[in-house]
């Protein structure tokens, strides 16, 4: 029984090692420049199935096909621009991390900087406004003395005089009428 278990474990590890080696791609290039071109393109192009993964890091079947197609196009002598155009024609702007500037992608290119500019202007405006309010330059002048009636002015003067008299004594400035 242990011999059968040992044989099963060996067979399982052998099949797993074969599948691990199957994922490694080996491409024959004519020059180092072609290999560098291939590496650069698969790092730059995005896998259509994976959300945010380039072709180099993806093991999806479509990524394998796109790597093979990229290799074939490089072997045909196509330039990077031609290969990018080929991929964008078939898979759209999603295939690249740097979509072209055109009316359909203006929101991607221009909205973030415009939003940043609007936020910075709003922050400066709010900061200047709060500084003007704090320094009394807000344009709103409140005449607190003119806002009091004659009876209120008299009561205020009485309370202030009581306050000045009783500074060392008690600090109760309520009138005798209020205490009753």
Q: What is the DSSP string of 24-88?
A: ------SSHHHHHHHHHHHHHBBPSSSSS-BTTT---HHHHHHHHHHHHHHHTT--HHHHHHHHH
* Cβ–Cβ < 8 Å for 174, 162: no
Tens digit of each residue's pLDDT (9 = 90 or more) over 14-58: 666 544 444 556 777 878 898 899 999 889 888 888 878 888 888
Pick from 41, 18, 21: nearest CA to 29:
41
Phi, psi of 50 (to 5 degrees): -80, 145
- Packed helices 61-75 and 80-91: angle between N→C axes, nearest 10 degrees: 140
Tens digit of each residue's pLDDT (9 = 90 or more) over 71-109: 999 999 888 889 989 988 888 888 887 777 888 878 888
* Cβ–Cβ < 8 Å for 70, 38: yes
Question: Of 8-12, 59-63, 76-80, 118-122, which has the strongest mean pLDDT?
Answer: 118-122
Which position has the token pair 């009783």?
Answer: 166
Using a cut of 0.85, tell me whether the model's pTM lies above it.
Answer: no
Which position has the token pair 């003395």?
Answer: 145
């Amino acid at each position: 029984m242990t011999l059968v278990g040992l044989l099963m474990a060996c067979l399982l590890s052998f099949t797993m090692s074969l599948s691990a080696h199957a994922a490694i791609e080996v491409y024959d290039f004519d020059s180092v420049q072609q290999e560098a071109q291939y590496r650069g393109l698969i790092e730059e192009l995005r896998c259509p199935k994976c959300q945010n993964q380039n072709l180099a890091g993806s093991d999806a079947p479509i990524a394998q096909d796109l790597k093979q197609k990229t290799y074939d196009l490089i072997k045909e002598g196509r330039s990077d621009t031609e290969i990018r155009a080929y991929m964008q024609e078939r898979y759209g702007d999603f295939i690249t991390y740097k979509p072209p500037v055109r009316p359909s992608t203006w929101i991607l290119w221009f909205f973030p900087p415009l939003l940043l500019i609007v936020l910075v202007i709003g922050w400066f405006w709010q900061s200047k406004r709060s500084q003007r309010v704090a320094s009394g330059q807000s344009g709103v002048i409140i005449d607190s003395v003119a806002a009091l009636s004659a009876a209120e002015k008299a009561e205020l003067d009485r309370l202030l005089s009581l306050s000045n008299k009783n500074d060392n004594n008690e600090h109760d400035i309520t009138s005798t009428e209020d205490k009753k």
